[in-house]
Structure formats: structure tokens, C-alpha cells
Amino acid sequence: MSGSPRGSRQRVPWLWPVLLAATLLLSFAAQAASVKSRNLSQLIDESDSIVIGVVDKVEDGIDDRGVPYTEVTVKIAERLRGKDTGASYTFRQFGLIEPRKMDNGRTLMAVTPDGWPTYAKGEQVMLFLHKPAKLTGLQTTVGLNQGKFRISNNRARSAADNRGLFEGVTFAPGVLTKNQKTMVSARAGAVDANALIDVVRRAVKENWAATGRMKNER
């Protein structure tokens, strides 16, 4: 008698993407729970790309391997680090925007894990982004929700409320303006966006870490 063994992948073609998504979700959720606090020096040091702009498009989907993702496109106002990708920057982060009904009638619940940044069309942001993952091509911000700053009314705030942003960061005398000195003394909460962007811009362009003008004392 011919036929596939009971419970084989031929009989349940939907099972592989569901299992893959579930495995990745558990892995990324654990990563979010254990992520360490990053200060500004670490955000800059660990970033492959740093971009400022307006979120133009947010879409989700499932790739050919069954990995659920949210794709974000940012219209670039300024690129502080990274390859020139033209007028926009597009990346994919793990997780769907909301649960998705699949062709088999089941619902895939693999949404963006807690502790990860979320995006909305029209919001102005500054993003500190890791390199895309070699295996999946997925990309997220350094320190997860610590590496996405929403800018509104010239105030910049991370999803982590800027907690620990300047903790352990020291600057050489004369490097910061008076306004920037006030900013880096804050322990949490929104800060002057222009002051923050100028510090990051100069730190990258002038290589403050290598020249000792900005140090991480952690």
C-alpha cells in the first residue's frame, strides 16, 4: 500500500512555517528579555547604519522560508552612518504587525515580540541599526527598543524612555555645547532632538571614540 507516512510533511504542508515562526519567536522573545542596557556610546559603536527620516511605509508578510517579518521604509532626511541607499532605507524586522490568518484556516500569532520597536507611517525617527542577519536578512535596532528614537516637536525619545542613554558616557572638555551638557545630565525622558543628533553626527564624523573625545566608562 503506497502513500506518505501519517503526519509527514506532505500531509501537513503548513506545519513547517508555523514551527519555524514559533521557534524564532521564542528565540527573539528571550533575546528581548535578556537584552542589556545600551548607552549612547554603545548605540553608535554597535551600529552599522544610523539614519534619520520619516517612516513612509510599514508592511508585513511571510518570506519564502516561512519567516514572518515587518518591512519598514524610511524616507531619509540624513544618513549619519552606512551605505548610501538613495532617498530611502528599507529593512525587515522579525514579526508580523498583527496575527495573520493562513490558507489552512489557522492563525499565525508570530507578531513583533515585546520589547522590540514598532513603527507607524508618518513618524519621524532616528534609528541605530545592526547589520542584517546573514541567515535571514532580518535587521533591527541596537538594543532593540533602545535604538529607535521618535522625534516630535524637536524632542527625541526612545521606546525605552532614554533610560541609561548617557549613563557611563564621558566627554572631553570643550566637546559639548552648554545645551548638550544639560542634555547628557538627564537620566531619562525626552531630550532636545537637535542636540542629540548633533552629538551623534559629530561623534561619527570625527570618530570621537577613537580620539578619546567620547568614552564609555561602563
Write out pLDDT tens, residues 125-182: 999 999 999 988 999 999 999 999 999 999 999 989 999 999 999 999 999 999 999 9
Task: Give the pLDDT of residue 24.
Answer: 53
Range of the domain at 94: 15-216
In a domain, 92, yes or no: yes
Task: Give the pLDDT of residue 5.
Answer: 46
Strands (E), the chain: 49-62, 68-81, 88-94, 100-101, 107-108, 124-129, 148-152, 155-158, 169-171, 191-192, 214-216
Answer whether 155's CB lies under 8 Å from 190's CB: yes
In a domain, 102, yes or no: yes
In a domain, 147, yes or no: yes
The total of structural domains in the chain comes to 1
In a domain, 2, yes or no: no
In a domain, 1, yes or no: no
Q: How far apart are CA 149 and CA 210, in angstroms?
A: 25
| Residue 107 three-state SS | strand
In a domain, 210, yes or no: yes
The list of the chain residues with pLDDT below 50 reads 1-16, 26, 30, 32-34
Task: Give the pLDDT of residue 100.
Answer: 85
In a domain, 4, yes or no: no
| CA-based torsion, 167, 170, 171, 173: positive or negative | positive
In a domain, 36, yes or no: yes
